[in-house]
Amino acid sequence: MSDFFSIFDFALILSALRLTSPILLAALGGLLTDRAGIFNIGLEGQMLVGAFLGFAGLYWTGSAWLGLLLGVAGATALSLLFGLWVIRLKGDPIIVGLAVNLFAIGLTAYLTLPVFGVQGSYDDPALEGLPRLFGFSPLVYLGALLVPALWWLLFKHPFGVRLRAVGEDAEAASEAAVHPDRIKFLACGLCGVLCGLAGAQLALSLVTQWVQGMTAGRGFIALVAIMLARSHPVGAAAAALLFGLAYAMAVRLQGIGIPPQFVSMLPYVLTIAVLVLLARRLRNRPVTT
Amino acid sequence: MRDRGFAVGEALLAVAIALAVGALFVLIADDSPATAYEALWTSSVGSTNALAQSMTTAIPIIVVGLGMGLAFRVGLFNLGGEGQMILGALTTAVVGHALASLPGAITFVLAVVSGCLAGAAWAVLPALWEVFLRVPLVVTTLLLNYVGALLATYLAAYPLRDESGGSTLAQTAEIPSALQLPIIVPNTPLHAGLFAAVLAPLGVLWLLQRTSLGYAMRMTGLNRDFAETGGVPMKRTIVTTMALSGALCGLAGALLVMGQTYRYLDDSIVSPQTAWSGLAASMLAGFHPLFTFVSGFFLAALQTGGSGLQLATNVPLQLVNVIQAVIIAMVAVRLWLGRRVLRR
């Protein structure tokens, strides 16, 4: 038992902040589409493409920054494709989101061989990830800054007003001379950018390597953070921190000899537990089954 | 009937578009689409053995597709087929091994039933959360996939690990021979589980068309509010549907263990995307149980062909996962059209 308590130290907090970052960035992205009235389970796939192309960009150019750019571009393209399918072709968001996730898994696993010349995962110690400022990648700071920025955008800026109007009642919004489709596409585009950053934080900073399926459900956990926060940036940040802490604890518990698979369950079990225990918070929001 | 013809046309169109996208990806891998698709064809349906292999792969795909599709028809997005199938497979393998000393028939029944129950339990949990707490089951079923997969890996790697063979893989001990389904076409892997894959669609069809529960389920799928006003007990219908859905997914896992792996083999379900192939098959079939058999065989042939493809060319077998995702994206658009027609 003393072993268990020994994991709670300052290093755990630092590690939790790093592990929070991808969940937070994806949650902030998904929050925008959610506010526009689109239930987006495709965050997972967008992150995965961001991670893959982010690392591939680093591999091709030697620059983590160019990798980041490529990852963001790829995730945004996928998110806009999701938008096209949902907004214009009127596909069911859940099924299209599922298709996005499966497409991302298939695409990245397929391209691993032609791009890196191996199957599964690729790692080259010579490749250098994103630089660190006082121990954190710039994306950790960016995520933290985006919380107030998104709050301002959503509640103080005309775009946020329009976005929320579209999400609540697209028809009424269009009567008020707002173009709902344009706003929704913009939300999808921004969501893609943020998910691309989330993927880059995974593959260019937390580790500097590509591992097949490395997002491992973080997009769904981000989705839960959005639901618990009722799409409020500050609440989403709080939920993301909790889940980041669970990831950090999982890493440390492996260090004291608890089997890895057992420990890896922790973030998912915690996410479900929080969802069930705080179920009352979810009410009043549009039912999204 | 006209409606059905339309759906078949749309399904074929979705497949054609997906194969065309697949051809583009073959070009990315620097190979010729003609050679790749020829290899895919030869190794999936080009010989008796390949055909039998594809049919064998189709068995769990069809059954898990029926399970997930049943929930979808009722408007419940059960995205947890993977976890339900994994727990079904693990439970059947463990119970089968543990009860090996009992008479064969009893072991057989108990192992299959416990596999179905494990799958059902993994599906009922999110259904109860949905019904009583309004936690959307689409999210909880997805998250439970990860919990189920990690739990099974942990159990197969530590407490239930088969130490006898000195295998480096995480796997449980072999199930008794009474539980191993007999091969029905000599010198091929095709086993008696095929009968389950034939009977299950008929059973689901009977349930939906001939029972009052099935009627309540179909009405709920068409319009939940309308069904509730009409006297359908909504909570009970949702929980029962998810239980049946999960039980079928668990059965798919049991069939995989009893017909192919003869034990729970770690990662025998997640990597081949068996559950997702099942869902894609079910969607392609417009959630019709009998057409699911056909589309399930098609997607299984694609899976089988993928392995041959990787051997014959330098195209990775994950090409079939890309094709499968495109099929779902294409069908998603049609599903909505179908709904709009119904609403007007």
- B321 and A105 within 8 Å at the Cβ level: the answer is yes
Instruction: Dig out the tokens for B22 from the structure.
Output: 């697949």
Query: Structurally, what CATH architecture does the domain formed by A2-282 represent?
Result: Orthogonal Bundle (1.10)
| The pLDDT of residue B5 | 43
Long-range contacts (CB closer than 8 Å, 24 or more residues apart) made by A158-164: A159/A183, A159/A186, A160/A35, A163/A32, A163/A35, A163/A36, A163/A187, A164/A35
Instruction: Dig out the tokens for B340 from the structure.
Output: 């709009």
- pLDDT tops 90 at residue A32: yes
| The pLDDT of residue A155 | 92
CA A132 to CA A84: how far, in whole Å?
37
Is residue B116 a contact partner of residue B249, using CB atoms and an 8 Å limit? no
Contacts of B12 (CB under 8 A, 6+ apart): none
Confidence tier at B140 by pLDDT (50, 70, 90): very high
Which of A114, A119, A216 lies nearest to residue B28, judging by beta carbons? A114
User: Which chain A residue shows the shortest CA-CA distance from B134?
Assistant: A279
C-alpha angle A215-B58-B322 in degrees, rounded to nearest 5: 35
Confidence tier at B343 by pLDDT (50, 70, 90): very low
CA nearest A27: which of A54, A46, A14, A51? A46
Instruction: Dig out the tokens for A249 from the structure.
Output: 């604890």
Distance from CA of A176 to the nearest CA of B (A): 26
- pLDDT tops 60 at residue B335: no
| The pLDDT of residue B280 | 94
What is the CB neighbour count within 10 angstroms for residue B235?
Answer: 13
Instruction: Dig out the tokens for A16 from the structure.
Output: 């939790």
- A259 and B150 within 8 Å at the Cβ level: the answer is no
State whether residue A109 sits within 8 Å of chain B by CB.
yes
CA A261 to CA B148: how far, in whole Å?
11
Q: Which CATH number fits the domain that encloses residue B128? A: 1.10.3470
- B140 and A272 within 8 Å at the Cβ level: the answer is yes
- B146 and A216 within 8 Å at the Cβ level: the answer is yes
User: Which chain B residue shows the shortest CA-CA distance from A274?
Assistant: B135
Q: For residue A89, which residues of chain B lie inside 8 Å, CB to CB?
A: 333, 336
Q: Which of B79, B318, B344 to mutate to test the interface with A (most CBs of A within 10 A)?
A: B318
Which of B30, B147, B328 lies nearest to residue A268, judging by beta carbons? B147
- Please provide the DSSP assignment of A87-151 as one string: IIS---HHHHHHHHHHHHHHHHHHHHHHHHSSSSEE--TT------BTTB-HHHHHHHHHHHHHH
Q: Which domain holds residue B265?
A: 2-343
State whether residue A117 sits within 8 Å of chain B by CB.
no
- B154 and A262 within 8 Å at the Cβ level: the answer is yes
Structure confidence by residue, pLDDT tens digits, B43-98: 889 899 999 999 999 999 999 999 999 999 999 999 999 999 999 999 999 999 99
Is residue A32 a contact partner of residue A90, using CB atoms and an 8 Å limit? no
Structure confidence by residue, pLDDT tens digits, B6-40: 477 888 888 999 999 999 998 888 788 888 888 88
CA A55 to CA A59: how far, in whole Å?
6
| Rounded mean pLDDT, A118-125 | 87
Q: Rg of chain B over CA atoms, in angstroms?
A: 20
What is the CB neighbour count within 10 angstroms for residue B24?
Answer: 10
Structure confidence by residue, pLDDT tens digits, B194-222: 999 999 999 999 999 999 999 999 999 88
- B332 and A262 within 8 Å at the Cβ level: the answer is no
- Alpha-carbon dihedral sign for residues A102, A108, A111, A117: negative
Q: How far is CA B125 from CA A219, A228, A273, B154, in A?
A: 22, 20, 12, 21
Q: State pTM to two decimals.
A: 0.92
State whether residue A89 sits within 8 Å of chain B by CB.
yes
Distance from CA of A72 to the nearest CA of B (A): 21
Distance from CA of A215 to the nearest CA of B (A): 12
Q: For residue B332, which residues of chain A lie inside 8 Å, CB to CB?
A: 85, 91-92, 95-96, 99
Q: For residue A288, which residues of chain B lie inside 8 Å, CB to CB?
A: 136, 138
Which of A91, A103, A261 lies nearest to residue B157, judging by beta carbons? A261
- pLDDT tops 80 at residue B238: yes
Instruction: Dig out the tokens for A191 from the structure.
Output: 């969501």
Contacts of B98 (CB under 8 A, 6+ apart): none
- pLDDT tops 90 at residue B119: yes
Question: Percent of chain A, pLDDT > 70?
Answer: 96
Confidence tier at B334 by pLDDT (50, 70, 90): low
- B318 and A109 within 8 Å at the Cβ level: the answer is yes
Confidence tier at B172 by pLDDT (50, 70, 90): confident
- pLDDT tops 50 at residue B342: no
Question: Percent of chain B, pLDDT > 90?
Answer: 60
Distance from CA of B281 to the nearest CA of A (A): 13
Distance from CA of B103 to the nearest CA of A (A): 35
Structure confidence by residue, pLDDT tens digits, B286-304: 899 999 999 999 999 999 9
- pLDDT tops 80 at residue B105: yes
Which of B146, B279, B314 lies nearest to residue A217, judging by beta carbons? B146
Output phi, psi for B78, to 5 deg.
-80, 95
Q: Which of B10, B74, B143 to mutate to test the interface with A (most CBs of A within 10 A)?
A: B143
Q: For residue A277, which residues of chain B lie inside 8 Å, CB to CB?
A: none
- B25 and A272 within 8 Å at the Cβ level: the answer is no
Q: Structural domain boundaries of chain A?
A: 2-282
Structure confidence by residue, pLDDT tens digits, A238-265: 999 999 999 999 888 887 878 888 889 9
CA A230 to CA A6: how far, in whole Å?
35
- B332 and A91 within 8 Å at the Cβ level: the answer is yes
User: Which chain B residue shows the shortest CA-CA distance from A259?
Assistant: B154
- pLDDT tops 90 at residue A135: no
Q: For residue B150, which residues of chain A lie inside 8 Å, CB to CB?
A: 261-262, 264-265, 268
| The pLDDT of residue A289 | 39
Give exposure, B153-178, as e/b (b: 16+ Cβ within 10 Å).
bbbbbeebbbeeeeeeebbbbbbbeb
CA B330 to CA B324: how far, in whole Å?
10
Is residue A178 a contact partner of residue A90, using CB atoms and an 8 Å limit? no
User: Which chain B residue shows the shortest CA-CA distance from A223?
Assistant: B139
Backbone dihedral region for residue B166 (phi beyond 0: left; psi -120 to 50: alpha; all else: beta):
left
More confident residue, B122 or B179: B122
- pLDDT tops 70 at residue B336: no
- pLDDT tops 70 at residue B100: yes
Which of B147, B322, B328 lies nearest to residue A95, judging by beta carbons? B328
- A289 and B130 within 8 Å at the Cβ level: the answer is yes
CA B173 to CA B11: how far, in whole Å?
42
Structure confidence by residue, pLDDT tens digits, A188-220: 999 999 999 999 999 999 888 999 999 999 999
Number of domains making up chain B: 1
Q: For residue A253, which residues of chain B lie inside 8 Å, CB to CB?
A: none
- A289 and B329 within 8 Å at the Cβ level: the answer is no
**ipTM of the shown complex:** 0.91
- A99 and B144 within 8 Å at the Cβ level: the answer is no
| The pLDDT of residue B3 | 41
Q: DSSP character for A205?
A: I
What is the CB neighbour count within 10 angstroms for residue A12?
Answer: 15
| The pLDDT of residue A1 | 55
Which of B75, B76, B134 lies nearest to residue A282, judging by beta carbons? B134
- A109 and B316 within 8 Å at the Cβ level: the answer is yes
Contacts of A237 (CB under 8 A, 6+ apart): A24, A27, A144, A147, A229
